[in-house]
């Protein structure tokens, strides 16, 4: 598909308003959106002003007050239709994701498939928002808990998954009876505009105020800070850097609001002597190179037992040499560009620092120049041997750098994995059941995700997604993550005709 065809299929023109609440708003400066593939302009988005934000959040709150009364199974049916609408736009929307942030086309379409899957999950969930009944200590009394819609949920998303993360939050929030106000990354606003158009159409066809799925593209100083401080938004779900997450937690926490934070990941994959090295190598390559190393679950550290380190690194060098780098829209490409030249600069700085303190590049790491690599973000993925204790390894560089560190045993491997500030995803490759159980046990991995014989990247939607420590502690998508989007209420019903007090208290 040509770029013009992709944009047209997604309902986008050369210039589009960046705010939506049943009407399109955007009285601020135009934001120029460029593709990282060659740096050319894809379109312009008129950003929201503070006045636009106020109108959007007011409309979203009014829409919530009506939408919360819609029965949950009916809300689930609307989300099912949203999934069907996304299915019909999978190819075009996936290509738009590729154009805007640079991931290869199959990953762009995979991201849309993830949205579809989450909608399917949420549809079933709409009939399972269960409370509990509990025995009362007082005769003739009944205790129960129930769950009610929470309000307008603020959803802040990052560039690397410009549409899927919205769905993790929005599909669940909608079946829970909430409205959603989406603030997407200013690097990838076109994908958000396209998804919002799809959601608006589905809501309108079902007689629901489309402000239930609102959008606000704008500067952090005007829109972002207002959203964080707004008491009309009881929950802010934010995906992004640890630095951003600390600001979100600070401002929302000051007003005693809720946060759901999914932040940085400095993910390690441990390989023990009994591991299937070919399987491990495949997992490492996808985890470290997929999405050009720009997943929060990307494999950044390879912690390998010293007995098999040379054999595994040899396999990786061969595999890295076969990674096809090029146009992410073309068939057969395995790696496109980083999102920007600044991201490539950060990668080069990290490599320089690592090598200045004892690290050694084993493969790649250089920038790619020339007409085929315009845009500034083209690099070759890097394998870098790093001595234990190298400080730069503790930092998350959002780029395809794989730090290889050698250890004598599993105990040292787990300690090294856990000593970084982040705690999102982790993996171990071993055929030893005792090693696997140790890794999964209370003294094992301290991450929110712990895998055995598969990589750190590519989580399914059925499990709650998120991590510990500087990763923020939030959980999105599957399992019982829906509870974050509702308010819990404990109820006691007295049918006794008397008024006994709890704990045996007599007050007469």
Residues assigned a catalytic role: 262, 296
DSSP-derived letter for residue 29 is P
Task: Determine phi and psi for 226, rounding to 5 degrees.
Answer: -65, -40
- What is the rounded distance in angstroms from the CA atom of residue 27 to the CA atom of residue 49? 6
Tokens of 87: 């299915």
Distance (Å, whole) CA 349 – CA 365: 11
Q: Which two tokens stand for residue 97?
A: 């994701």
Residue 489 · residue 145 · CB < 8 Å: yes
Q: Residue 35: how many CA atoms within 13 Å on its side-chain side?
A: 24
Alpha carbons 475 and 470: distance in angstroms, whole number: 14
Buried b (16+ CB within 10 A) or exposed e, 130-141: eeeeeebebeeb
- CA–CA separation, 384 and 353 (whole Å): 12
Name the pairing type of β-strands 267-271 and 425-429: parallel
- Beta-bridge mates of residue 428: 270, 452
Helix (H, G, I), strand (E, B) or coil at 98: helix
At 253, which helix (H) or strand (E)? helix 242-254
Contact 89, 195 (CB under 8 A): no
Strands 360-363 and 382-385: antiparallel
**Closest alpha carbon to 108 in 120, 90, 88, 121:** 90
Q: What share of the chain is helix, strand, coil (3-state, %, to 5)?
A: 40, 20, 40
- Tally the C-alpha atoms within 13 A of residue 120's C-alpha that lie toward its C-beta: 11
From residue 354, how far is each of 95, 249, 383, 461 by CA, in Å? 36, 31, 12, 35
Residue pair 208/67 in contact (Cβ under 8 Å)? The answer is yes
HSE-up (13 A, CA, CB side) for residue 62: 11
End-to-end CA distance of the chain: 80
Collapsing DSSP to helix, strand or coil, 484 comes out as helix
């Amino acid at each position: 598909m040509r770029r013009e065809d992709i944009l047209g299929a997604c309902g986008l023109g050369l210039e589009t308003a960046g705010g939506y609440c049943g009407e399109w708003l955007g009285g601020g400066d135009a934001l120029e959106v460029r593709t990282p593939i060659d740096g050319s302009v894809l379109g312009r988005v008129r950003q929201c002003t503070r006045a636009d934000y106020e109108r959007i959040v007011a409309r979203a709150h009014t829409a919530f007050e009506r939408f919360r009364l819609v029965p949950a199974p009916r809300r689930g049916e609307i989300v099912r239709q949203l999934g069907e609408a996304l299915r019909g736009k999978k190819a075009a929307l996936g290509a738009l994701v590729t154009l805007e942030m640079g991931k290869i086309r199959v990953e762009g379409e995979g991201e849309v498939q993830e949205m579809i899957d989450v909608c399917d999950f949420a549809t079933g969930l709409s009939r399972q928002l269960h409370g509990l009944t509990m025995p009362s200590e007082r005769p003739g009394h009944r205790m129960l808990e129930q769950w009610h819609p929470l309000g307008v949920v603020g959803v802040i998303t990052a560039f690397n998954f410009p549409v899927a993360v919205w769905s993790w939050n929005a599909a669940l929030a909608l079946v829970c009876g909430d409205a959603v106000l989406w603030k997407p990354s200013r690097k990838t606003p076109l994908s958000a505009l396209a998804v919002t158009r799809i959601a608006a159409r589905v809501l309108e066809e079902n007689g629901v105020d489309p402000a239930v799925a609102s959008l606000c593209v704008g500067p952090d100083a005007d829109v972002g800070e207002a959203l964080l401080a707004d008491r009309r938004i009881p929950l802010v779900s934010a995906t992004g850097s640890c630095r951003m997450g600390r600001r979100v937690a600070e401002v929302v926490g000051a007003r005693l609001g809720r946060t759901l934070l999914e932040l940085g990941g400095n993910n390690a994959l441990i390989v023990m002597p009994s591991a299937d090295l070919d399987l491990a190598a495949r997992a490492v390559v996808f985890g470290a190179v997929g999405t050009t190393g720009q997943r929060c679950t990307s494999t950044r550290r390879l912690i390998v037992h010293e007995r098999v380190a040379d054999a595994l690194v040899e396999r990786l060098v061969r595999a890295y040499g076969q990674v096809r780098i090029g146009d992410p829209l073309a068939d057969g490409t395995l790696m496109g560009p980083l999102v920007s030249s600044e991201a490539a600069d950060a990668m080069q700085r990290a490599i320089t620092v690592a090598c200045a303190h004892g690290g050694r590049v084993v493969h790649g790491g250089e920038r790619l120049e020339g007409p085929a690599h315009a845009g500034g973000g083209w690099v070759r993925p890097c394998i870098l041997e790093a001595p234990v204790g190298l400080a730069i390894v503790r930092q998350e560089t959002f780029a395809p750098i794989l730090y290889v560190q050698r250890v004598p045993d599993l105990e040292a491997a787990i300690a090294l994995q856990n000593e970084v500030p982040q705690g999102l995803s982790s993996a171990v490759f071993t055929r030893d059941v005792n090693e696997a159980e140790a890794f999964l046990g209370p003294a094992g991995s301290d991450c929110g995700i712990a895998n055995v014989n598969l990589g750190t990247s590519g989580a399914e939607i059925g499990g709650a997604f998120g991590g510990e420590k500087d990763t923020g502690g939030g959980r999105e998508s599957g399992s019982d993550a829906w509870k974050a989007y509702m308010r819990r209420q404990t109820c006691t019903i007295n049918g006794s005709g008397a008024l006994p007090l709890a704990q045996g208290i007599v007050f007469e």
